[in-house]
Structure 1
Amino acid sequence: MTPTTSIPDFSTTALYGDQNNTNGTACPETDAWEWLSSSQPVYILIITVLGIVFNVFVLMVFCLHKKACTVPEIYLSNLAAADVVLLSCLPFWAVNIYNNFDWPFGLFMCKAATLGIKMNAYCSIYFLVLVSMDRYVALVHTMSHGRMRRPKYAKLGCLLVWGFGLLLSVPTLIFRKVEHFPEYGVHACFLEYPNHAVELFCDGMLVVVSFVIPISVISFCTIKIIQALKIQAVERFNAEKTEQKATTLVLVVLLAFLICWVPFHLVTTLDVLLRAKVLEGCHLNTVLDICNQVFTYLAFFNSVLNPILYVIVGKNFRKKVREVFKQWSNKKTASSESTRSNQSSTLKTLA
């Protein structure tokens, strides 16, 4: 079975649902689907294992370090948590593809697994919006808005982002369903909107809310941040070195996010235009279907890439890692000495 037939496109990313719906497209199938379907489960499982290990490591460093997290670290730790949520849901999709899109986990997990994936699409980019705004305030409006950069406000902002991501994912909870297709012998987990207008509205909302608006804000902040860094480089403000280190990491993380996610959102935009009949053509439909698959898993790879960037680029993060390992070493030493002391006291008492 290939997903370009008249049934919903089960293989299409869980981020926004089915592309072909039940429109009975007459476009010819392509051999590329066989290669995609066979390679996707392996790829998903690899990035799942690596991503969960790397992101849990990041969360442990931020949580176990003796010093409280800074505002950027609060945002980046929530980004890591969002990536863990995404990666924890991906194995269900890998099994689904391996089973030729026969969903074995029931309706609850159909909704829950895809909800976690879709929430990540919204939450991840808005955590980056928050961290880019924080860097903008730190470097461009250092004196006038310093009070806004407090950990309690950062935590409140993260809580609002989680709530916002859940709210925008409500269509997934409502319209995601499991249905039996006897002609293909599968129980498919897919999105079935009540009508075409609702489908276009939901997908259009994904493009505007999770791409156009946040990318516009991030782009504005990034331009101002780079301008501020150039000015500070000329003036050699030593007091700003810590902020510059944090900003460098943020800019690299933002760049990686754009590289991984922009292709997916561009393809999503073209797909919405195709289903709205603004664009037409079987060749375009096939190309978009394949590109959607490839760019979806490029986007997922961003969840593995972020922790690697923290280690490579983040000097402060590497310092925290060393300090956390030092804390563990000191605790083990203290525990060992305490055990030997207790044993010595016991022996003296017995003697």
Structure 2
Amino acid sequence: MTYAKAFIVSVYCLVFIVGTFGNAIVIIIMRSKRKSNRLVDVFITHLAIADLVFLLTLPLWAVSTALDHHWLFGEGLCKMCSYIVVVNMYSGIFFLTCMSIDRYVAIVLSVKYGYLRSRRCAVITSLVIWTLSLALGLPTLSFRHMVQVDDNGKWVCSEVNMPSRNIFALVTSFIAFVLPLGIITVCYCSVGIKLYRHFDRIRKEERKKRKSIKIGFWIVTMFILSWLPYNVLKTTDVFVQSSTFQASCDTQESVSKGILLFTCLAFVNSCVNPIVYLVFDRYFRKSLFQLLPCQAAKRLKAHCSTSLSDSIRSQRRNSSFYKEKETTFTAAKISS
């Protein structure tokens, strides 16, 4: 195994460990905030679910990469794992778009369209996003196959090159990446302009909104940095494979290697969001520390010491009471 493949496999293993633990913690903490009315919490929960489901497939991709992309797990898992990857990408960008729209409505259109930020609306929006993401991913089940690449029995999980696949790739790239990216940019630019104009009059509630905007901004930035290079190279690969322009063998090889590298970068995004919450969200940090075993032990110890102190105080009060009663009885006996 070359150094590059060893590095990618190591990254996959690290992403799987950190991402699985981190996103599970995010879901637990968000579920504990049932009384919270923040719509962004609904979208954060669904983002974590999407990443967690994808991370379950990551060990299979790590094994395949370690074996020079030889796929051992059959065509069914080849299709399903590829399907989960694209659904994760689509749902991720759609939920981030909804988060940016939510911030735009909350700050720029706070009075006019506040009804759009109801929890019921957020749940319906989440269901629509999942339905759309699952539907957009369906063609992947048709395009992905196990392909034999040599006479030594090496099979890879790859997309079959056909005109319909190329057209679909370009259309979905626009619908599920370029268009949402434009909406996110417009929303956050508008929010930034509004906050800048009213910076001196920001109230305490608005400062809380600024913190959530900062979290959303970093989540979006990490998503773009992770997935933009992959989408650019995938679009380039579509034109190369469709012979739209003549590309040399070196160019085709460079594009293929670039896709492998930037696929790794895209997969890293699944463990980034919990780290962003840990750095910028005080409530998340506090809840995480409360969930840690050492913190649980401290709470148990504090509870035991409190109970012991209460018991000692109770015993002292009882002892003082009986001593006082005995003194009173002795004094009464002497006087009689």
TM, length-normalised to structure 1: 0.78
2:71 to 103, 115, 128: 103
SS at match of 1:189: strand
Decide whether the 8 Å contact of 1:65 with 1:320 is kept in 2.
no
Instruction: Map 1:204-283 to 2 at 5 A.
Output: 204-282=170-248, 283=250
1:184 to partner: Cα distance? 3.1
1:35 to partner: Cα distance? 4.1
In structure 2, stretches of 5+ residues that fail to align are: 309-336
Q: 1: distance between equivalents of 2:181 and 2:303?
A: 50
Q: 1:276 to 1:180 in 2, by over 3 A?
A: closer
Residue type of the alignment partner of 2:199: A
Decide whether the 8 Å contact of 2:101 with 2:187 is kept in 1.
yes
Q: 1: distance between equivalents of 2:2 and 2:290?
A: 49
1:276 to partner: Cα distance? 3.2
Decide whether the 8 Å contact of 1:119 with 1:165 is kept in 2.
yes
Instruction: Map 1:1-351 to 2 at 5 A.
Output: 34-65=2-33, 67-68=35-36, 70-180=38-148, 183-192=151-160, 196-282=162-248, 283-321=250-288
TM, length-normalised to structure 2: 0.81
SS at match of 1:103: coil
Decide whether the 8 Å contact of 1:89 with 1:114 is kept in 2.
no
SS at match of 1:217: helix
1:236 to partner: Cα distance? 2.6
Q: 1: distance between equivalents of 2:82 and 2:192?
A: 37
Q: 2: distance between equivalents of 1:240 and 1:329?
A: 37
1:182 to partner: Cα distance? 5.9
Residue type of the alignment partner of 2:281: G
SS at match of 1:104: coil
SS at match of 2:57: helix
Deviation per CA, 1:206-248, whole angstroms, max 9, x where unpaired?
3212211111111111111111221231323333122222111
Q: 1: distance between equivalents of 2:168 and 2:268?
A: 25
- For the aligned residues, what is the CA RMSD? 2.8
Of Structure 1 and Structure 2, the greater helix share is in 2
Q: 1: distance between equivalents of 2:75 and 2:109?
A: 49
Q: 2: distance between equivalents of 1:213 and 1:66?
A: 32
Q: 1: distance between equivalents of 2:242 and 2:148?
A: 28
What's the % identity of the aligned pairs?
A: 25
1:335 to partner: Cα distance? 9.8
Bigger radius of gyration among the two: 2
Q: 1:73 to 1:103 in 2, by over 3 A?
A: same
1:87 to partner: Cα distance? 1.2
SS at match of 1:190: strand
Which deviates further from its counterpart, 184-193 or 106-115?
184-193
SS at match of 1:166: helix
Which deviates further from its counterpart, 133-142 or 197-206?
197-206
1:323 to partner: Cα distance? 6.6
Residue type of the alignment partner of 2:255: L
Residue type of the alignment partner of 2:19: G
SS at match of 1:169: helix
Q: 1:70 to 1:325 in 2, by over 3 A?
A: farther
Q: 2: distance between equivalents of 1:248 and 1:120?
A: 23
Q: 1:45 to 1:113 in 2, by over 3 A?
A: same
Q: 1: distance between equivalents of 2:131 and 2:282?
A: 32
1:65 to partner: Cα distance? 3.8
Q: 2: distance between equivalents of 1:38 and 1:325?
A: 32
Q: 2: distance between equivalents of 1:160 and 1:170?
A: 16
User: Which residue of structure 2 aligns with residue 18 of structure 1?
Assistant: none
